Structure 1
Amino acid sequence: MSIQSVKEHLKQFNYEKHILEFQESSATVEQAANVLGVIPARIAKTLSFNAANGGALLVVAAGDAKIDNAKFKVTFETKAKMLTADDVVTYTGHQIGGVCPFGLTADVPVFLDISMKRFTTVFPACGSANSAIELTCEQLEQFSFAQGWVDVCKGWDYTLLQGGADNV
């Protein structure tokens, strides 16, 4: 039912028909990149964390980025502790492998990491382990009702932000 909640969510933007569904799994960054034929960095992975207020928060980041614990703590005033699989379902309505910032079952704040700004378009999941959608960063921000852009990741090439990245 999770992909159905995403379709309902995207209807308000007249974008539900843009969801891509695959025969193969797209549950991991590598699997999604393979099925889409793009570099792993263009996969917009949604990471679920405990929030300082006892709730949850989501960070959407490029597929090649890793959470930087020090940056995360400064930004969110708490340690970067990921939700359990059960809590992910409770807060998002999505199983791990299909977690995305759309069609959430709870009012969870969404933040977008600047690691994705290297690309013209990125591919977040759509609520199932075999779905994705191609969106510009502006569309991702609008469709996810993001609270804003953050810099909480490491392990990706910052220099590509200057001149733009190759959208392979």
Structure 2
Amino acid sequence: MSLESVQSFLARSAPELAIIDQGASTATVAEAAMALGVEPARIAKTLSLKVGDETLLVVARGDARLDNRKTRDALGGKPRMLDADTVMALTGHPVGGVCPFGLATPLPVYCDISLRAFTSVFPAAGSRTASVEVTPDRLAEITNAQWVDVCTLPPVGGDAG
């Protein structure tokens, strides 16, 4: 059902975008990068968070880490990751396939400015084997996302872990 909700969303909002189903796991940044043949940083991971009383999604580049201070400054509170059951219930997507498209529950979406380092990025598409290639600006446009600075990048030559 999750992949189908993404297909329906993209058909309405971005018919030019095609879902890439690798038939292999893209559930982690490393697996997605390997399956798609791109650097891990170009994987657009979607983080499901609770900040204060608000549940929201942050889309960031694959090697970025959520920064508590930056998140507090930008979004008004300390971020807390949601558990897998809550993520599935709210987004309709399984962990490893979470994306800001075709959500079961309307949620605010934020795109971290780290995505802007790339001409295109690869968010998941509602399943653990599917992705979509999209420009960061188009990603923000079709999800009505706001741009924020809530992540830190690894040191140059550092671990993308």
Q: Same fold per TM (> 0.5)?
A: yes
Moved over 6 A (4+): none
Give the TM-score taking structure 2 as reference length. Answer: 0.92
SS of the equivalent of 2:81 reads: coil
How many positions carry a matched residue from both structures? 156
Q: What is the rounded CA distance, in whole Å, between the counterparts of 2:23 and 2:106 in structure 1?
A: 31
- Tell me the alpha carbon deviations over residues 24-78 of structure 1, each in whole angstroms, 9 at most, x when there is no partner: 100000000001000000000000001322x410000000100011111111112
1:67 aligned residue: 66
1:47 aligned residue: 47
Q: Once the two structures are aligned, what percentage of the paired residues are identical? A: 48
The answer as to whether partners of 2:60 and 2:112 remain within 8 angstroms in 1 is: yes
Q: What is the rounded CA distance, in whole Å, between the counterparts of 1:16 and 1:90 in structure 2?
A: 28
- Tell me the alpha carbon deviations over residues 80-112 of structure 1, each in whole angstroms, 9 at most, x when there is no partner: 100111110111110100000000011110000
1:90 aligned residue: 89
Q: Which amino acid aligns with 2:99?
A: C
1:151 and 2:149 aligned: yes
Give the TM-score taking structure 1 as reference length. Answer: 0.88
Q: What is the rounded CA distance, in whole Å, between the counterparts of 1:3 and 1:119 in structure 2?
A: 25
Unaligned runs of at least 5 residues, structure 2: 157-161
1:56 aligned residue: 55
2:159 aligned residue: none
The answer as to whether partners of 1:7 and 1:16 remain within 8 angstroms in 2 is: no
Deviation at 1:139, TM superposition (A): 1.2
